[in-house]
Amino acid sequence: MKNPRAFLFALVVAFVATFAQCRYVAQRETDLLYETAPQKTLVATRDILDNVRLDETMVEMVDVPRRWQQPKALASVDQIRDQISAVPILAGEQIVATKLVTADEAGLALYVPKGLRAISLEVSVFNAVGGHIKPGNHVDIIGTFDFGSADKSDMRTVTVMQDVWVLSVVDDIGRPTTRDIVVMPEEGQPVEDREPAPSELLNNSATITVAVRPAEAQKLILAQQIGDLTVSLRSLWETPEPVALDHATVASTLGLVQQVRYRQGPRYRVIEGGGF
């Protein structure tokens, strides 16, 4: 052997390369075995409507490779007891906890952020964007107040609050509750039309509930007592920064400097059902 050092170096390099390759293959095999290990997972056996109380007839247990098991996937029939589907679930889809709620959890208090208070505003289809406001929207609250005296009106419209979060419309909180639970039809049967929820019947007298700070809640209560409130819907792409606005007055709106005569409504009270 003419150069034993070169031979020894080549032998060491070959040994190190072989060792690294064997270690890589072994680690890769371990990773693959871990990722493909079967995991017990609940899947839907049929299409499940939203707002349906789940039971064992709607699901089955299958083995899913760990790599393909979705986060929060349920692995026991006991985990769906008293659970309601928050969104439609397709046949063969894994049952995940994020798509289920319980009737008790769906109460409004669960969704009021810490430090805020829920306050209801009386609205109608005319002063609430035609009934298009939905839970989760953000709105501005605008009030019209009379600063006049005697028979002279000095009406002014003021944006009382901006970027207010809507918690509910009538009793629709945007999530299923016990009232919303529907019965799944038999396989192959058509879905029966359900009665419209109260939030779908917004007409001349309804409420929306918003989340505000405690001090703002006091202001809203007072504003409802002394003026007329209107709810303005904000765009989903609107930034939360407040917009500087001047008060809208008769002078700025109509171009009139003098006061306008106040047309006062009749002073009487309607008594229904013979009550006094």
More confident residue, 256 or 129: 129
- Read off the pLDDT of residues 127-162 as tens digits, 9 standing for 90 and up: 777 778 888 889 999 988 887 776 677 788 888 899
Which DSSP helix (H) or strand (E) runs through 115? Answer: none
- Read off the pLDDT of residues 88-136 as tens digits, 9 standing for 90 and up: 889 889 999 888 877 666 567 767 778 899 888 888 777 777 778 888 8
- pLDDT at res. 20: 74
Regarding pTM above 0.75, the answer is: no
pLDDT at 13 over 50: yes
Tokens of 273: 């059902």
Q: How far is CA 258 from CA 21, 151, 156, 249, 263, in A?
A: 92, 13, 14, 11, 16
Q: What mean pLDDT comes out for the span 201-219?
A: 80
Among the listed residues 101, 56, 107, the one whose alpha carbon sits nearest the alpha carbon of residue 83: 101
Q: What mean pLDDT comes out for the span 218-245?
A: 86
Question: 50, 84 in Cβ contact below 8 A?
Answer: no
| Count of other CB atoms within 10 angstroms of residue 258 | 7
Give CA torsion, residues 198, 199, 202, 205, to 10 deg. Answer: 70
Q: How far apart (Å, rounded) are the C-alpha atoms in residues 43 and 92?
A: 5
